[in-house]
Amino acid sequence: MVQDIAAMLPAFERHRGNLIPILQAIQERHSYLSGAAMKMVAKHLGIGPGEVYGVATFYNQFRFQPPGRHRIKVCLGTACHVAGGEIILENFERKLGIKDGETTADREYSVERVVCVGCCALAPVALLDDDVLGRMLPSKVEGLFVQFEIERQRQEREKVARESGEQARD
């Protein structure tokens, strides 16, 4: 990752105005900003690392922890709030045993709240990766996890089948 960022930086002119675009580009590729990455950016732009950290933490877009493989976002815009978005968020939190903004220990799931994804007519809304799940209900959250479990078991079975097949060939 460090090498990759080192390769990215020369494309950006050493100009203060490029700070946010650089941070965005790094997060786009690596999905979060590590301490090392921010130090490299600081060095490239000739400013203090604290300055970079200060700017990065000011904006909601930047993350400092790697997100889970599946990112669950629960919309808490005005329309979703009125329709009970908080209850949906709580259900995800309870189901995964993590709080808003955290990632599960196996790095499979992360849960975060977002402010308005812009499909208020479908409130309350949650996003699973890029799929929009409209008109959410606590029972739909349950259903989603049953689906995950079935999918996981299927993959495991296939893996076992594949491995045993390979062994048979050997």
What is the binding site for other proteins (CB under 8 A)? 16-21, 23-24, 54-55, 58-62, 76-79, 81-82, 84, 87, 90-91, 94-95, 114-123, 125, 132, 134, 137-139, 141-142
For residue 120, give the DSSP letter: G
Q: Tell me if the bond preceding 21 is cis, omega within 30° of 0.
A: no
Is 137 or 161 the residue whose CB approaches other proteins more closely? 137
First to last CA, the chain: 37
Is 142 or 162 the residue whose CB approaches other proteins more closely? 142
Q: Using an 8 Å Cβ cutoff, are 31 and 63 in contact?
A: yes
Cα(85)–Cα(91) distance, integer angstroms? 10
Is 79 or 148 the residue whose CB approaches other proteins more closely? 79
Min separation Cβ 82 and other proteins, Å: 6
Min separation Cβ 68 and other proteins, Å: 19
Query: Cβ neighbours of residue 45 under 8 Å, at least 6 residues apart?
Result: 14, 15, 16, 18, 19, 22, 52
Min separation Cβ 163 and other proteins, Å: 35
Is 43 or 157 the residue whose CB approaches other proteins more closely? 43
Is 3 or 60 the residue whose CB approaches other proteins more closely? 60
Dihedral sign, CA of 147, 153, 157, 163? Answer: positive
Min separation Cβ 3 and other proteins, Å: 25
Q: Using an 8 Å Cβ cutoff, are 101 and 142 in contact?
A: no
Min separation Cβ 136 and other proteins, Å: 11
